[in-house]
Structure 1
């Protein structure tokens, strides 16, 4: 099929997208911006697109999700095209690798292993299979393979989860709570007596332990913080709405007034029937 025909064929599926990326990267006739990109320059966009997928899901915007998943797929194809140009691998290699991985990690579906097991047992089996895969990659350390590029809070959670597998963990959440109190005191001391660098270090320690508390409580800290961000955004927008009804903006207000409005917004959330 001629290249231009393929590009304009809306029924051509993934082959159409692969050809579009190939032509965008063509050194002679492609897009200058796309040609200039490399793995490092594209990686931040890949991370951003993954978060936009999560955002659409959280807001239950399913038509937006369709577009965001397409954007994320574009990132995968873009990376695969650059890898193909460098002689590393092709997009088909990516597909084959993922397919093989899924078959290998689901012997209870694609092999003769019994499906009669709990979700918890399947999770344990999954982790054992991944540990075997890491050993095959010469990842000997317990923490090997926890990606450096993860958001720091999520990486802290995963590092602690890995350490817990080999017994390096508090036996209960109470131990974590005690550690939080200790780290909080150290942060106050650093604020009052030490350098800004020391303050940052102690603040990081406190954040790290907070992530561990989330794990002990069965809370994924990144998701919990996203939820808190959304709540703060919703309530602050409520303040702005109430101020606008008074012909004001936050810059025209003061802390006492905004605190009172914040309390009113919270009360309205608890009592949806309240139309004040």
Structure 2
């Protein structure tokens, strides 16, 4: 029978891995900064399992992501900065603070009738309240700018959408998809204008800047249409991968190879496989 372990066991395991005398050399060599790439990778693997509806492996991926938190907690404890319990306590306090419509007395429901279980609030009102509380928290932390604390290491498309959303909270926004789309057409025209100037190095640099503006504008359209731009692009990547692999399979079934096929031949097969999406 497979052993059943608890969170206490996991925290002890992490302590053993970081033991200076008997721990794992690799784990002992790590720091806050060195495990960041692993954290990002594990978070994306969780998202990937959910998007593929691979719930069988989701448990494992969530465990890998939890281990990242446990690792950071251990590093924090060793440097006497924080520990796992203080992380949990701070998180719980923050969630209570940000949900006054559920915990109006500022206390966690503990079996009594302190939780406001009868209170209902419109989703839009709850979201507005959430953002106001977050803004107050930023001010209390000394982060007074409207764009303060938007993480700089987010994927660029995700960060663009977060920056736009934050700016929209003070009215700096297009107000409609149509107006945002007009901006896309404007940026596209500027890209086309720069393409005609590619003979110079300066022209190439300017084209890159205009392409960035164009992508930022497209993200605005996605946001105003209530889509997550990062998710849309991930879905498109998967669609392209699926179609390309299918095209490759058709060509190889006929005895050919992609590298020997003309663009015209590949496009013809591409149109065929699109019909099976």
2:233 maps to 225
Quote how far apart the aligned CAs of 1:232 are.
0.6
Structure number having the greater helix percentage? 1
Match of residue 143, structure 1, among 132, 142, 147 = 147
1:83 maps to 76
Superposition pairs for residues 1-276 of structure 1, below 5 Å? Answer: 10-111=3-104, 115-193=119-197, 194-269=202-277
Q: Equivalents in 2 of 1:19, 1:249: separation in Å?
A: 54
Across the two proteins, how many residue pairs are aligned to each other?
261
Q: Bigger shift: 164-173 or 102-111?
A: 102-111
Aligned to 2:152, the other structure's residue is in SS state coil
Q: Once superposed, what is the RMSD of the aligned Cα atoms?
A: 1.7
Q: Which runs of 5+ in 1 are unaligned?
A: 1-8, 270-276
Q: Equivalents in 2 of 1:30, 1:191: separation in Å?
A: 57
**Contact 2:190-2:210 at 8 Å conserved across structures:** yes
Aligned to 2:153, the other structure's residue is in SS state coil
Q: Equivalents in 1 of 2:12, 2:203: separation in Å?
A: 55
Aligned to 1:109, the other structure's residue is in SS state coil
Q: Kindly provide the CA deviation profile for residues 157-199 of structure 1, in whole angstroms up to 9, marking residues without a partner as x.
A: 0101111110111122222222212212222333332343322
Aligned to 1:110, the other structure's residue is in SS state coil
Q: Bigger shift: 106-115 or 134-143?
A: 106-115
**Contact 2:191-2:211 at 8 Å conserved across structures:** yes
> TM-score, with normalisation over the residues of structure 2?
0.89
Q: Equivalents in 1 of 2:213, 2:30: separation in Å?
A: 36
Aligned to 1:41, the other structure's residue is in SS state coil
Q: Kindly provide the CA deviation profile for residues 98-124 of structure 1, in whole angstroms up to 9, marking residues without a partner as x.
A: 111122222222336562222222111
Q: Bigger shift: 54-63 or 106-115?
A: 106-115
Q: Bigger shift: 66-75 or 125-134?
A: 125-134
